Copies of this chain bind each other. A is one copy, B any other.
């Protein structure tokens, strides 16, 4: 499928999209052979409530989506709405907020896991560049387990400009780099707006962004093994930020 941004699949993804209600669902296709469990019942109930069409169809309808782990359920949905950075910055009804900035993440599963981790850790938004980074597609939506509906994704043309704008608006920028001196837990996250920059799986955070950052931190790797998956690295950092906030 060339353009798959209008399909979401899997029980959790469809249920979460129904609950969130922030995107238009045109139609839900359910396999005739599906085992009706609690989640399927809930999906039917929510769809009826919201007046959304659902159809029981033969398995041939799922043929085009064979590459996906669709669990016998697919929804045709309006593409995700990206937020403008200005909108996000202006909408400052709470005192201190947090962002994650992704610089060149290539893998859809990683982006999905990152979105999920950010929602669980209370991050307020995710910035991705419009080029040189995976965009939100069906695999991302599925891997995020519906988390995509709980956090704004902000797409920008230039990460350097975005960082500049954040700094002008009283945000502090924390970049990660394996050669940093400070550890990620040395930063005090609880009394400022902060944005954490995570780099590409191989190349890391680009030089121009490292230079623009207020803090550059590393995760102290043991066993001389410096190859943590990007979503697991991010998890360590955002939950440390949450720990500091909750402990305060």
User: Is A240 close to B, CB under 8 A?
Assistant: yes
Q: Out of B116, B240, B242, which one reaches A232, CB within 8 Å?
A: B116
Contacts of A247 in B (CB 8 A): 185
Stretch in contact with the other chain, from A84-92, A133-141, A143-151, A187-195:
A143-151
In the complex, residue of chain B having the shortest beta-carbon distance to the beta carbon of A220: B246
Bits for A179-222, please: 1 = Cβ < 8 Å to B, else 0: 00001010000000000000000000000000000000001111
User: Is A54 close to B, CB under 8 A?
Assistant: no
User: Is A79 close to B, CB under 8 A?
Assistant: no
Stretch in contact with the other chain, from A55-63, A119-127, A158-166, A168-176:
A119-127
User: Is A239 close to B, CB under 8 A?
Assistant: yes
CA distance A242 to B222 in the complex (A): 9
- Determine whether the beta carbon of A239 is less than 8 Å from that of B222: no
- Determine whether the beta carbon of A225 is less than 8 Å from that of B113: no
| Majority secondary structure of chain A interface residues (helix, strand, loop or mixed) | helix
In the complex, residue of chain B having the shortest beta-carbon distance to the beta carbon of A119: B225
User: Is A243 close to B, CB under 8 A?
Assistant: yes
CA distance A236 to B113 in the complex (A): 14
CA distance A247 to B231 in the complex (A): 24
User: Is A70 close to B, CB under 8 A?
Assistant: no
Contacts of A46 in B (CB 8 A): none
CA distance A221 to B236 in the complex (A): 14
Bits for A225-244, please: 1 = Cβ < 8 Å to B, else 0: 11111011101100110110
- Determine whether the beta carbon of A227 is less than 8 Å from that of B12: yes
User: Is A109 close to B, CB under 8 A?
Assistant: yes
In the complex, residue of chain B having the shortest beta-carbon distance to the beta carbon of A229: B113
- Determine whether the beta carbon of B229 is less than 8 Å from that of A116: yes
- Most B CB atoms within 10 A — which of A226, A233, A243? A243
User: Is A223 close to B, CB under 8 A?
Assistant: yes
CA distance A97 to B229 in the complex (A): 23
Q: Out of B117, B121, B227, B242, which one reaches A116, CB within 8 Å?
A: B227
A183-B243, A232-B235 provided; 11 other pairs, C-beta below 8 A?
A: A12-B227, A116-B229, A117-B228, A120-B219, A120-B223, A120-B232, A122-B223, A219-B239, A220-B242, A229-B231, A231-B232
Q: Which 5 pairs of residues, A with B, have the shortest CB-CB distance? A: A122-B222, A236-B239, A235-B235, A232-B235, A120-B228
